[in-house]
Amino acid sequence: MALATVLETATQKYFDKKLTTQIAFSSPEFFKIYEGANTRGEGGRSYVWHPQYARRALSFYGRFGAHTRVPIENFTQAELPNARCIASAVLDEGDVAENTGAAKVIELLAESLSGLKDDVVYGMAGKLWSGAGGLEPVGLQYAIATAANTYATIARGTYTWWDNNRKNASGVEVSLALMKELQLACIHDTDNPDLWVTDRVIFRKLYNVATTGTRLVTPSTKAGKLYANMGFEVIEVDGMPVVWSDNAPVGDSTVGTDTTGYRGIMYCLNTKDIQMRFVPGRKMKRTEWRNLEAQPDVIACDMKNQYVLAVKTPRNHGVLYGLKEN
């Protein structure tokens, strides 16, 4: 019997779908979105949905005015492709042989699987922001941009609700007034943002501002307590949690109008509006340990994820950019 088959009996057959083990990095927004992820019921490799909001330019002309009728192209659906992620855990049979005894072998396998899990989560959390589409998922940095572009095959611009909100701080320090201005722009009826995400530098600056303005509140909402219980740094400003993330984009000289140093960025998100959907059977799916034909002294297993990340109504999100970071 192959060694891989024997070792499989001593390990978990399926991976931890709730990711309840120790968190090796700071990415609270990933865990928030992953918590609400689901499996797509239909087949196919793309995620298609109907835009919830749209508007167009109106034409005004007088009683005797002439107006040339031009067909207007209507969009009826948006589409994003799924992206596939495969990561491998590899063990040398020599290492297994050196760790004789059932307890040592199980411990060796457990450490390898723990490292695999951290690698997969860390990589997925990074692409949550930086994914550029194509072979990668479309990340938040692209979906919630500082300028109008195209998202999910739909052009964003002046006459569409498909565009997200943005505010250029033009190189000034972060302030509660700027945050509130953007937050209000993201509120439409009951569609409210529920999370601020930024990098650690802007988080520290905001902490100082909020403390001085006595607007800093220890987490008291359910969402704020959830982040705190998971071990993340979180503060609440006007009842809205603010977290920093390892993966949140850091500004550079091309963002904002200030001429010195880097320009910080804050994202105002409605996480309920962000859909993370997995293809059936491709959510933290670990294969069995197996022997490799090309490397007979090695055993390996794969972790497979295939999913899409969709920001269904960009107008309920916003980006505050051009903040002074230096």
Domain with 185 in it: what CATH number?
3.30.1930.10
% of the chain surpassing 70 pLDDT: 81
Q: What pLDDT does 14 receive?
A: 40
Mean pLDDT of the chain: 81
Statement: residue 256 has pLDDT above 60: no
From CA 70, how far away is CA 61, in angstroms rounded?
15
Domain membership of residue 107 (yes or no) is no
> What's the token pair of residue 290?
């197996």
Domain membership of residue 255 (yes or no) is yes
Statement: residue 19 has pLDDT above 60: no
Q: What pLDDT does 13 receive?
A: 47
CA-nearest of 293, 304, 291, 288 to 92 is 291
Domain membership of residue 32 (yes or no) is no
Dihedral sign (CA 29, 255, 142, 187) = positive
Strands 234-237 and 216-217: antiparallel
User: Which residues span the domain enclosing 186?
Assistant: 165-274+314-324
Hunting for tokens 């007979």 — which residue is that?
296
Domain membership of residue 300 (yes or no) is no
Report how many domains make up the chain. Answer: 1
From CA 30, how far away is CA 253, in angstroms rounded?
27
Statement: residue 211 has pLDDT above 80: no
Please tell me whether residue 257 adopts helix, strand or coil conformation: coil
Model confidence at 224, in pLDDT bands (50, 70, 90)?
confident
Domain membership of residue 228 (yes or no) is yes
From CA 137, how far away is CA 308, in angstroms rounded?
6
Domain membership of residue 222 (yes or no) is yes
In this structure, of 41-50, 116-125, 157-166, 240-249, the range with the lowest mean pLDDT score is 41-50
Report pTM: 0.84
Query: Side-chain half-sphere of 95: how many Cα atoms within 13 Å?
Result: 12
Statement: residue 257 has pLDDT above 60: no
Distance from first CA to last CA of the chain, Å, rounded?
A: 61
Domain membership of residue 133 (yes or no) is no
Domain membership of residue 101 (yes or no) is no
